[in-house]
Structure 1
Amino acid sequence: MILFGMGLTLTGQDFRRIVQKPVPVLLGTVAHYLIMPSLAWLLCLVFQLKGATAAGVILVGACPSGTSSSVMAYLAGRDVALDVSIEALSTLLAPVMLPMILYLFAGQYVKVPTQSLFMSTLEIVVLPIVCGVVVHTFFGKRLAPVLDFLPIVSQLAILAIIGAVVSANHANLFTAATAIVIPVVMLHNLLGYTLGYLFSRLLRLRQPQQKALTFEVGMQDSSLGATLALTYFSPAAAIASTLFSIWHNISGSVLSSWWKSHTRKVWRRWSRTTGVWRMRPWSRLMF
């Protein structure tokens, strides 16, 4: 449902944009798949997580960008085109990247069924998106009134998945293992925001692009992580995805609200002094 809805919002222009201006999209996708899995692995080492719990944390880090990131980044006033392009590319690459990352980082904790994960991710992720794009291509104009409600539907679907995972894990959610995972999940998300933002500053992107990259790196498709954890590992492996689903919506809401308020103040100040946004060198080359 969530990824089919994402496919309904995509057009040929979104994919052409990846080809026409590939540098920021590719760099954003690379940052996502480099930063979040590495952070997850390092946090497992620091907090000495083991077994299915560690695999669950790394599984969250290996997931593509979450649909919630689009909602949060939109509220913060981000670059719509860049956000959608990175989200689409990272999601389409998930069938390859997710099993590979899990094999590299989580192979020491649990047995990783890479081939089965590839097929499941292909079915869960790519197929619904392709179906959504096809439906949008043929019925785009008729779907216009429906598209406005898709963010709400996506959020409700995410809440339903969280509810199902919590129900399956209710015996495991209030244990010592869960208490250890909570700070890991919070640090994973917050460090993802921080490193995503610093990476965008290093590339000298404009502020709207900085916001898009920050949310695309820091927020994961944890509903996918929960589904795969319950399918291939154990309920304990789904704890990290469950907690991440709850926490990143809280942190994302706070960050988007602060950023929107802060942007208004900066815009007023810059408007009085210069009248325009400052365009940096890399921005001219990439946008």
Structure 2
Amino acid sequence: MNAVGSVGNIITKYLPFWILVGLGIGLWKPDSLAGGSPYSLYVVMFLMLLMGITLTPKDITGIAKKPVSILIGTACHYTVMPLLAYGVAWLLNLGPGLTTGLVLLGCVASGSASNVMVYLAKGDLPVAVSLGLVSTFASILLTPLLVQILIGKLVSISAPSMALDIAKMVVAPVIVGLLMKIFLPKVCGYIIPFVGPVSGIALVFICSANFAAGHAAFLSSGFIIIAAVLMHNLGGFTLGYLISRFTRRTEKATRAITLETGMQNGGVAIVLAQTYFDPIAVLPSAVSGAIHVFTGSVLARYWAARTIGVEAVTTGTFRARNDEPELTRD
């Protein structure tokens, strides 16, 4: 078991490196990986099932304990990231396919890797888990609606059809996983230690296979794709942090909201791009895996190096007052 744990730690700790290796193979020998692209849907559903298994009833009730932070974080995620994606696409003058892919990436729920980063950053993990859960369920309505509003004139899309696909691909597996955790706790107890490394391997597979399938387009537009995804990601971190400070969240909650805002569920975006749009729309999400995990881990390790108190509040111009009601300082 120790050997398995060591291997798992290597996979999760160096996940950005393994994603880059996968992308490199996809660029060098695309035929060896491109065949896995059609299976992305099933891999994403499996990932969401694993996410459900790691949840507990406390994660659901936790939403009611810190509603203000959850509301602010969800609002950040579904306003900052979609609008920022649209702005970056306009600024870089991306073509219709890449614009569609970047906006779609900005409109999906937060990724499970963000919870890991919040843990490493010594942020408010319950807030992060609750945010991920709320954004996942909200994506049924908000993802197709935002895509329709932002790029509905650019591409044809059936919002009800996309909503149904998100429900089947994302929400249903999470619910099944949560039910398994409740009714089969011993079975899930054996599974949970493997969730991290298995999820890492699955993420590498999704990103690499779909990158390989669209490698030709990447060869002609690779630099601009990387620049767009990086600007979108770092912009999300920056605005998420500033909004958290402005609304006087605690330091721990600020870290959670920042990371949950800037990191997206690239796997879901890949499958939706495959299903509804031009193949080139997959590429921003395919490269986002490595970029989001790398920048998130750098930010998390920087924050982890700073000593904070359990009840410390964000310092600076927007410091929370000691007499601030608890509901507004959760």
The equivalent of 1:55 in structure 2 is: 100
Kindly indicate whether the alpha-carbon contact (under 8 Å) linking 1:205 and 1:283 is maintained by their aligned counterparts in 2.
no
Cα distance in 1 for partners of 2:79, 2:86 equals 11
Cα distance in 2 for partners of 1:63, 1:232 equals 14
Letter in 1 for 2:274: L
Secondary structure class of the residue paired with 1:174: helix
* Identical residues among aligned pairs (%): 33
The equivalent of 2:326 in structure 1 is: 284
Cα distance in 2 for partners of 1:126, 1:284 equals 32
The equivalent of 1:215 in structure 2 is: 259
The CA deviation string for residues 247-273 of structure 1, in whole angstroms up to 9 with x for no partner, is: 111111111111112x13xx4xx8xxx
The CA deviation string for residues 64-113 of structure 1, in whole angstroms up to 9 with x for no partner, is: 00111011111111111100000000001111111001001111221122
Shift of 1:46: 1.1
The equivalent of 2:246 in structure 1 is: 202
TM-score where L is the length of structure 2: 0.80
Question: Relative to 1, partners in 2 of residues 1:171 and 1:283: Cα closer, same or farther, differing over 3 Å?
Answer: farther
Kindly indicate whether the alpha-carbon contact (under 8 Å) linking 1:192 and 1:217 is maintained by their aligned counterparts in 2.
yes
Counterpart selection for 2:282 from 223, 228, 238: 238
Q: Specify every segment of 5 or more residues in structure 1 that has no aligned partner in the other structure, as ranges.
A: 271-275
Counterpart selection for 2:90 from 26, 45, 57: 45
Secondary structure class of the residue paired with 2:93: coil
Kindly indicate whether the alpha-carbon contact (under 8 Å) linking 2:148 and 2:159 is maintained by their aligned counterparts in 1.
yes
The equivalent of 2:167 in structure 1 is: 122
Kindly indicate whether the alpha-carbon contact (under 8 Å) linking 1:206 and 1:283 is maintained by their aligned counterparts in 2.
no
The equivalent of 1:273 in structure 2 is: none
Cα distance in 2 for partners of 1:97, 1:187 equals 23
Q: Which moved more, 1:225-234 or 1:32-41?
A: 225-234
1:39-118 mapped onto 2 (5 Å cutoff): 39-118=84-163
Cα distance in 2 for partners of 1:249, 1:11 equals 25
The CA deviation string for residues 158-196 of structure 1, in whole angstroms up to 9 with x for no partner, is: 111011111211222111x33222211110000100111
The equivalent of 1:15 in structure 2 is: 60
The equivalent of 2:304 in structure 1 is: 260
Letter in 1 for 2:216: A
TM-score where L is the length of structure 1: 0.91
Cα distance in 1 for partners of 2:118, 2:304 equals 10
**CA RMSD in angstroms, aligned pairs only:** 1.7
Q: Provide the aligned length of Structure 1 versus Structure 2.
A: 276
Cα distance in 2 for partners of 1:228, 1:211 equals 29
Shift of 1:283: 7.5
Counterpart selection for 1:185 from 214, 222, 229: 229
Kindly indicate whether the alpha-carbon contact (under 8 Å) linking 1:71 and 1:151 is maintained by their aligned counterparts in 2.
no
Cα distance in 2 for partners of 1:182, 1:84 equals 28
